[in-house]
Amino acid sequence: MKEKIRHSKLLIKELYEFKPTILLAIMFATVFNVALPLLQLLLSAFVIQWLLEGISIGDYLLRLLLLIVPIGIAQMGNYYFMLYQEENMNHFRDFMRNKIETKYLKLDYPLIIGKEAQERYNNASELTDNNMTLFGRLVTEIIELCSSFLGVILYINILSQLESLFLVLVGVFLLIVVFFNVWQVKMDRKLFQAKAANSQKLRYLRKVYGESRITKDVRIFQMKDWFKQVEDKTIAEYHRIIKPKVRLTWTESTLVNLGIIGLSALSYIRSVQLIAAGAIPVSSFVIFAGSVTILAQTIMTLVNAIGKMNTSLNETKKYDDFMSQGQVFNHEEGRSLPKEPLSIELKNVSYTYPNNDTPTINNVSLTIKPYENLAIVGENGAGKSTLTNLIAGLLKPDSGEIYINGVAQSEFNISDYYALFAPVFQEKFLLTYSIKETVIQGLPFDELKYNRVLKQSGLTDIISKFKSRDETKIVRAVYPDGVNLSGGQLQKLKLAQALYKDAPVLLLDEPTAALDPIAEHQIYQDYFQFSKDKLSIFISHRLSSTRFCDRIIYIKNGDITEVGTHEELMTKQKDYFKLYEAQAYYYKHDKEEKEEEDEPVATGGVI
């Protein structure tokens, strides 16, 4: 209960932060929602009363006008706040989405890696997806809850004046509605996993229909009918899953309607008795009869609204869990960044990923000298990328320390610390900006430096072929006149990014993994050329690309097992030697086989 109260306060706080006047709007919308049906009910009753009294037409019209005006105001207010609500639902969703995305961008890297971290973000982000999710429906739910609660109190008070027995019957009716509502909630929980799994299957099927990788197989292997059968089977499975829910809903609807009929019958009988006895005027029959119907509907609305709000408060925990994440690194004022040349030292550094028992990096000690070109090699999963992430300040060691020119990494402000590194990672994700914007990456624009970087990276020749030059947009799927860069072109773009940042440490984490060995070798030669005045760390699973580094370390199961130049490691004939020889053998034989298989391609043919 304490947690739900805290989450209620959190939601109100977010609404107030979004727009303080929205709380006032909710209050007015609640009043208009309750007032309108009551005024309409009173109008019907008074019209009958005035007709029975035989008042003059002038008095009749005057009294009618006095009632129609507030009804009109209530209707206009209702309509206005409905429009206001619809408009602000979307704005509030956007506001909350922006808060979540801003928080995500500010989170330290350890808090966004791994399955659990991704689930935390996805759970929070999904709350803003559409007007059926928490932050899209919240305002509507609050108005519905407040209106129905106020309405139930009002109409119970009206009916209690007619017959005290109504309070008992309304209580019984309320218990029936609550009972079925609780049953519905339990059934929803019971069916949730099955419905979610079924929906995931259906989403996957409908997603792959349009994928180019699938459409060719569908046509060549005549899979259309099979796909349709799978879809029909999945839909039939969904109807089977929800069948108990449908039955329960039908039963609830039947009993609730019988309850409304019973309350209405009692209202009619008791009203007629009191009218016959002269205890109440004829017009009161309309008020009491109408109040029964409105009360029954309002009770159902209230119970449903409480259930919805309970669900919303439970969902708020997902938002709270994500937004309340703290900081891993130092974000306060730290030590001034050291001047070049830089040296990096790791002392007994260990790191284990969340939900893992085995350390990925195990008690590693290493010193990287100023301006040194260091290669980190090893088999897949050995810990190469993890080691560079630790050096770059993306991950925090579980034990040990990393020093820059003798100053502990933890003593620097992490944002300042990142300025020391110009990384080129293996992942090739690109935002849909122009080539120029992608190279600059939000840094201050320096035209001389920019043109020099384009030339050094080889981008000048590439963009000269584009109509819009460096203003050409990347990712054709978003911009019809954009371009999709080849692997080699993309590497030159990444090199330009790193060169433009001009940081003292260059990090290359298998950036050429998707390229063939010859193309990769050329790319690395480009990197070596521009890393002479920097401390550089190269990672590659192809050992031939890093043989020219000043020093090579071989990592195995999170430990540094070999250190030396290429020639020194080859002389030792250990793991490095075996891996290098194996790769050289396969590259050589693969090349020979390709030369034997290659055939001339006719002019105009497709390679």
| Cβ 322 vs Cβ 123: under 8 Å | yes
Quote the pLDDT of residue 520.
Answer: 64
The CATH number linked to 536 is: 3.40.50.300
Do 247 and 217 lie in a common domain? yes
CA angle 547, 386, 502 (to 5 degrees): 65
Do 407 and 526 lie in a common domain? yes
Do 207 and 119 lie in a common domain? no
Domain boundary pick from 299, 326, 353: 326
Whether 287 maps to a domain, the answer reads no
Do 572 and 522 lie in a common domain? yes
The secondary structure of residue 483, as a DSSP letter, is: B
Domain boundary pick from 502, 524, 553: 502
Whether 492 maps to a domain, the answer reads yes
Whether 43 maps to a domain, the answer reads yes
For 601, other C-beta atoms within 10 Å of its C-beta total: 9
Do 53 and 97 lie in a common domain? yes
For residues 528 and 541, give the distance between their C-alpha atoms in angstroms, rounded to a whole number: 17
Domain boundary pick from 455, 481, 502: 502
Whether 444 maps to a domain, the answer reads yes
For residues 245 and 91, give the distance between their C-alpha atoms in angstroms, rounded to a whole number: 34
Residue range(s) defining the domain that contains residue 263 = 163-279
CA angle 534, 535, 540 (to 5 degrees): 115
Do 557 and 583 lie in a common domain? yes
In the numeric block, the tokens 């995931």 are attached to 200
Q: What is the pTM of this model?
A: 0.74
Do 24 and 123 lie in a common domain? yes
Q: Which stretches of the chain score pLDDT less than 70?
A: 162-164, 209-219, 221-223, 426-432, 475-480, 511-524, 526-527, 544, 585-607
Whether 292 maps to a domain, the answer reads no
Do 397 and 458 lie in a common domain? no
Do 491 and 368 lie in a common domain? no
Whether 335 maps to a domain, the answer reads no
Residue 298 one-letter amino acid: T
- What Å distances lie between residue 82 and 14, 141, 297, CA to CA? 20, 13, 20
Q: Give the residue from 86, 116, 111 showing the smallest Cα distance to 25.
A: 86
| Cβ 32 vs Cβ 81: under 8 Å | yes
Do 314 and 398 lie in a common domain? no
If one counts the domains in the chain, the total is 4
Quote the pLDDT of residue 526.
Answer: 67
Whether 572 maps to a domain, the answer reads yes
| Each residue's pLDDT tens digit, 339-389 | 878 999 999 999 999 888 889 999 999 999 999 999 998 888 888 889 999
Do 242 and 260 lie in a common domain? yes
Quote the pLDDT of residue 198.
Answer: 78
Do 151 and 191 lie in a common domain? no
Whether 606 maps to a domain, the answer reads no
Quote the pLDDT of residue 252.
Answer: 76
